[in-house]
Amino acid sequence: MTFIEFKKQLLDAEISLPKFSKLIKVSEKNLQSYKKKGVVPNAIAVSVTCFVHMHHAGLDYRTIIEELKLEAKTKKGSGFAKKKNKHATK
């Protein structure tokens, strides 16, 4: 799915990009990065398409997704450690 198609799907599902990102626990910055690539990943395309169909069927997809209690992924590994404050008092 192209990024343009993705944005149209969001409109059809009556959800903004910021609200979509919060709902599925993916950073808005990450979603915006697909604009440069021109396409969105399959999982995002499937999600937004399902949201559109659920919305048209009168289902409250937001509540359904919120009940999943999704958690945002955090970056791990080298280079992502919190930097120590050199000026911190001991």
Instruction: Tokens for 1, please give them.
Output: 């799915």
Cα–chain center distance at 71: 11
Q: How far apart, in whole angstroms, are the C-alpha atoms of residue 26 and residue 48?
A: 13
Would you list the domain boundaries of the chain?
3-66
Each of the 90 residues of the chain gets a pLDDT tens digit; together they read 999 999 999 999 999 999 999 999 999 999 999 999 999 999 999 999 999 999 999 999 999 999 999 999 887 766 655 555 556 555
Which has the closest alpha carbon to 31: 22, 63, 79? 22
> What pTM was estimated for this model as a whole?
0.78
